[in-house]
Structure 1
């Protein structure tokens, strides 16, 4: 019983063919249609462009002009994570971002790129973050060790935060839906109450999927601001 709760984090397959593959290929195209030659194609396209413009503006707010070169990367990453997180809420799918290996594969190279950018453009300032100004001499080795550990743990924090939040939400939905099915023939009134809780939790999980994608990219932009 306990093992079945974690089966949702595995890609469902039929005759060895992943069922998620077709939905994964079609869902982004339906969610983000390609622009046409018209100035304004339809209301959905206008809403999409407004959302991307608003997201890009919010992500670039803490950055100076040098960081605006990363606008395409940050916006694309935000769109990618948002699409995958929402895709995992559909039936007969799974969320790839609940896998720590995938999240770390996204977090570590991007964090390393921001760090190398700082070491290349302003090495003195980047290394100066490891030792706050005015630190007493006896505390210098300890503070350097603490700041270095804090710096190296950033990609792990990015990956674990995204994985933990999405995994916890999916497990709660699985537990409450199982309780609803088990209580339906015994106590229909209580089962109806759990269905209401399940609907509210699903709405909350949609919000979490959107917020976690935004937080991941926002923290990455803050790391970038320290190195440009």
Structure 2
């Protein structure tokens, strides 16, 4: 029985073709393209306002050199947000529950921030490995610790997104199964369980939005350290 709970996280295939590629391409078909008209409809206006506010919030503390990343990070935010929200629909698959996908997004972007720091300001980038005022006997130990923490960053990005979404989906399925099982024998308890399930679904909607924002926010912080 427990194995069936985790079947929802298996990458689906049809005729031997993995459908994760279709799931990744789907979000871009849901957003309308901007028009050249003076006045847009409500959907385009709301979409433009959301993207503008997010871009301003993320890139306000960054130096002008980091503003070149605005389009990429904003697109990544919209992409992750849409994938997380679509995964909450019934009979759907959430690609962001796959650690391979999240690491494929986290590692190249983190590595790009590190390379930018080493290219533009190598002294300051290497200086992050040794805090100022460190006693001489502790210098080798702190350099090793800071180096390990530097290389753990992309793993933390990918695991955080995967773990939060996987735990939420699994908890929703467990509570939903309990509600259906108790419906015949204990209807009152089943109704209370369904109420908890509704509240948990609202929490998962918030988690889906927050985790996409946190992923991009941490990338912007890494970028801020290296520009």
TM-score (norm 1): 0.94
**Counterpart for residue 226 of structure 1:** 225
The SS at the match of 1:91 is coil
Offset at residue 39 of structure 1 (A): 2.0
Change (3 A) 1:23 1:119: closer
CA RMSD of superposed structures (Å)? 1.8
Matches of 2:23 and 2:36 in 1, distance apart?
27
Matches of 2:142 and 2:166 in 1, distance apart?
34
8 Å CA contact retained: 1:84, 1:97 = yes
- Residues 73-112 of structure 1 mapped to structure 2, 5 A cutoff: 73-112=72-111
Offset at residue 10 of structure 1 (A): 2.3
Change (3 A) 1:131 1:15: closer
**Counterpart for residue 184 of structure 2:** 185
**Counterpart for residue 8 of structure 2:** 8
8 Å CA contact retained: 2:130, 2:142 = yes
Moved more, 75-84 or 13-22: 13-22
Matches of 2:88 and 2:69 in 1, distance apart?
29
Number of residues of Structure 1 aligned to a counterpart in Structure 2: 227
8 Å CA contact retained: 1:103, 1:163 = yes
Offset at residue 27 of structure 1 (A): 5.0
List runs of 5+ in structure 2 lacking aligned partners.
none
Change (3 A) 1:27 1:157: closer
Offset at residue 20 of structure 1 (A): 7.3
8 Å CA contact retained: 1:97, 1:103 = yes
Matches of 1:181 and 1:16 in 2, distance apart?
33
**Counterpart for residue 61 of structure 1:** 60
Change (3 A) 1:18 1:107: closer
Offset at residue 195 of structure 1 (A): 1.0
Offset at residue 86 of structure 1 (A): 0.8
Matches of 1:184 and 1:165 in 2, distance apart?
29
The SS at the match of 1:35 is coil
Matches of 1:24 and 1:149 in 2, distance apart?
32
**Counterpart for residue 112 of structure 2:** 113
Offset at residue 68 of structure 1 (A): 0.6
